[in-house]
Structure 1
């Protein structure tokens, strides 16, 4: 999501902003019967990774997001896949985003290279459980209806670790089932919104069709 010396922020796909928050995209309804019961990913809370309290108010919205935005953090491709490393990365992201004046982590969820899923912006996990939305700072001018997932690392020329991508599939399936979203329409890359960014990296972006397919298969859509 972040680059050296600059921070990229977003533009929504043509026409997407006209959708009612929480509406099913493309007029496609997911089946309500016959779907496998999902086991939601284990999401480590802000308390667990020792987040700082926000320095600005957090906007908790009585609506649902209609797009899932996939990012990469553009940080180091560490080979430390431990939970402790994942927690350090979440703190690094929060420090960076607060230094940018965003008051807290900008994204709602973060996935480490070891496949650990962590809550980002304050109240994000509560909002998902309540099928509502916390407005983040990860999709400029469209934060009120998009939920962002940061994926640790830089994926221009190297692929994601299998653990990270598998966790991303599970997380997208959980979100799509929670919010009744069509994964083929809802899952997008950061560069789909901002023409000047390379996020989420060429390699991860090229795998978005696979991500949509695997997500759809997991929820039986």
Structure 2
């Protein structure tokens, strides 16, 4: 299998300096699947028509251990921030491609950016597969009362859930299946953390960047509407 490398993005060059201080717990770096989540975590909730989406945890896509212990903050996130990976708009929509993307992204973030782990909490592939990014993000989401400190948006890493969407969306729209998978994930996050749909933003709302692309950014009102339908 050919390795892929996400295109370096200037917007990420300073993220390592963006972590905010807050009450936190240091977690071990091993991946934790929902099935092995600690006793007492509430089960993911779902609307009858829009159940909780399937999310592949770090172990499922073959993540490396983080280089340092991941920090679990004693607070819920305040918002969701949507990103694009600025990688090629591939037509390989397979699960294998999604897992390859997750591994390549983690290697880029750790080996080239110098971060302790994948920067974002979750990733949505062009084939509509949803994957955990930073270790323990999925367990925290399923608990619904804490979040993992990440590295996806300067000034927001202790406040916002970051979602990467595979592809570059300056002029093209994401595949329909990918967009609706993003809506499913955002709805699940809003449901678990009691977030209003108005708290779904694009990266450029907080940092000087083209992310998540002109086209995807213009689709955020539609995304909020789709999420609202899932929460009714």
Mark yes or no: TM-score above 0.5: yes
Aligned counterpart in structure 1 of residue 12 of structure 2, from 8, 24, 48: 8
What is the aligned partner in structure 1 of residue 186 from structure 2?
A: 172
Are residue 101 (structure 1) and residue 101 (structure 2) matched? no
Say how many residue pairs are matched: 195
Aligned to 1:71, what secondary structure does the other structure show? Answer: strand
What is the aligned partner in structure 2 of residue 29 from structure 1?
A: none
Q: Which has the higher contact order (CA 8 A, sep 6+)?
A: 1
Is the contact between residue 58 and residue 122 of structure 1 (CA under 8 Å) also seen in structure 2?
A: yes
Aligned to 1:176, what secondary structure does the other structure show? Answer: helix
5+ unaligned residues in a row in structure 1: which ranges?
A: 12-16, 18-34
Are residue 181 (structure 1) and residue 181 (structure 2) matched? no
Question: 1:67-78 maps to which residues of 2 (within 5 A)?
Answer: 67-78=79-90
What is the aligned partner in structure 2 of residue 144 from structure 1?
A: 158
For residues 65 and 171 of structure 1, what CA distance do their matches in structure 2 show? Answer: 15
For residues 47 and 121 of structure 2, what CA distance do their matches in structure 1 show? Answer: 25
Is the contact between residue 70 and residue 151 of structure 1 (CA under 8 Å) also seen in structure 2?
A: yes
- TM-score normalized with structure 2 length: 0.80
**Residue 56 (structure 1) shift:** 1.8
For residues 36 and 52 of structure 1, what CA distance do their matches in structure 2 show? Answer: 34
For residues 219 and 9 of structure 1, what CA distance do their matches in structure 2 show? Answer: 36
Are residue 191 (structure 1) and residue 186 (structure 2) matched? no
RMSD over aligned CA atoms reads 1.9
Aligned to 1:59, what secondary structure does the other structure show? Answer: strand
Runs of 4+ residues deviating >6 angstroms: none
**Residue 5 (structure 1) shift:** 5.7
**Residue 146 (structure 1) shift:** 0.6
5+ unaligned residues in a row in structure 2: which ranges?
A: 1-5, 21-45
